[in-house]
Amino acid sequence: MKNIIFIAPPAAGKGTQSNLLKEKYGYVHISTGDMLREVIASGSTLGMEVKNIIDKGELVSDELIINLIKDKLATLDGKPFILDGFPRTLNQAVALNKILKDDSYEVIYLDITEEEAVKRIEGRVSCSCGKTYNLNDEGLKPKVNDICDVCGNKLVKRDDDNVEAFKVRFEIFLSNIEPLINFYKSKNKFNVIDVNKDLNEKFKEISRIVAND
Ligand code: AMP
């Protein structure tokens, strides 16, 4: 089973696919957005600085995020992992390449238009347990309004899931994506999944790429 690097604009479905892969294959799901939200929840001065950046839709520094990832990967003990939200810049990709000891990974690029992503952002809600839902998608709605199917907690909307912050996030994504794509194409690690396909079809395609399933 190969490690997975998800590269995609906001709301392309990285979190949903990560949860499915985690359930079926036991991947460790590493979401840098979740890690940063934990830093915010700690209430530290750094947390307040990070919140300010995230709420505007901007990126935290490469240095901060690379250090967080380096520490996290060092705890995995060889377990297969999914990187969700990292790398987002060429600098981060180059740093990751130095940290990884082998090339047992595949990049999965979830291709989505800005229009479709805005629609998803508007309907996206999540639970503190990490499960995400989408009120604009019949297949991704919770069974009971506002309540998590898994743990029964109340679902909440992320502070940065508003159209204004989303536009900044999408623009930043586009401005960084080309060098990232070229970097992974040159290593023969780049795989594109069309997000308009059915959820299970996408999952099967990804499974074939990373687990020969
Ligand atoms: P996400 O949950 O992946 O949408 O990330 C939420 C926010 O966290 C992003 O909009 C960025 O502000 C920040 N963030 C997450 N991952 C990174 C990263 N690799 N580099 C810089 N900022 C990041």
DSSP states of 24-61 as a string? HH--EEEEHHHHHHHHHHTT-HHHHHHHHHHHHT-PPP
Considering the chain, what is the average pLDDT of its residues? 94
| Active site (annotated) includes residue 208 | no
The amino acid at residue 170 is F
| Active site (annotated) includes residue 124 | yes
127, 150 contact by CB (below 8 A): yes
Residue nearest ligand 1's atom 15 by CA: 33
Domain boundaries, the chain: 3-112+162-211
- Rounded mean pLDDT, 7-16: 90
Residue nearest ligand 1's atom 10 by CA: 57
Diameter over CA atoms, the chain:
46
Q: Which of 37, 88, 120, 131 is catalytic?
A: 88
Residue of 31, 32, 46, 69 best suited for mutating to test ligand 1, as the one with most atoms within 8 Å of CB: 32
Q: Give the Cα separation of 136 and 23 in Å (integer).
A: 24
Classify domain 3-112+162-211 at the CATH topology level: Rossmann fold (3.40.50)
Distance 68 CA to ligand 1 centre (A): 12
| Active site (annotated) includes residue 158 | yes
Residues 33-80 have pLDDT tens digits of 999 999 999 999 999 999 999 999 999 999 999 999 999 999 999 899
| Residue 183: count of CB within 10 angstroms of its CB | 17
Reported as a pLDDT band with limits 50, 70 and 90, residue 170 is very high
Q: Give the Cα separation of 31 and 24 in Å (integer).
A: 18
Distance 69 CA to ligand 1 centre (A): 12
Distance 112 CA to ligand 1 centre (A): 18
Query: pTM for the whole thing?
Result: 0.90
Distance 213 CA to ligand 1 centre (A): 30
Distance 211 CA to ligand 1 centre (A): 27
What per-residue confidence (pLDDT) applies to 131?
Answer: 86
Residues in the chain: 213
105, 2 contact by CB (below 8 A): yes
Ligand 1 atom with the smallest distance to the CA of 85 is: 3
Q: Give the Cα separation of 63 and 126 in Å (integer).
A: 28
| Residue 205: count of CB within 10 angstroms of its CB | 17
Residues 28-40 have pLDDT tens digits of 999 999 999 999 9
Residues with CB under 6 A from ligand 1: 10, 32-33, 36, 53-54, 57-60, 65, 85-86, 88, 92, 160, 169
Residues 106-120 have pLDDT tens digits of 999 999 999 999 999
- b/e map of 120-159 (b: 16 or more CB within 10 Å)? bbbbbbbbeebbbbbbeeeebebeeeeebeeeeeebeebe
Question: For residue 72, what is the enclosing H or E element?
Answer: helix 62-73
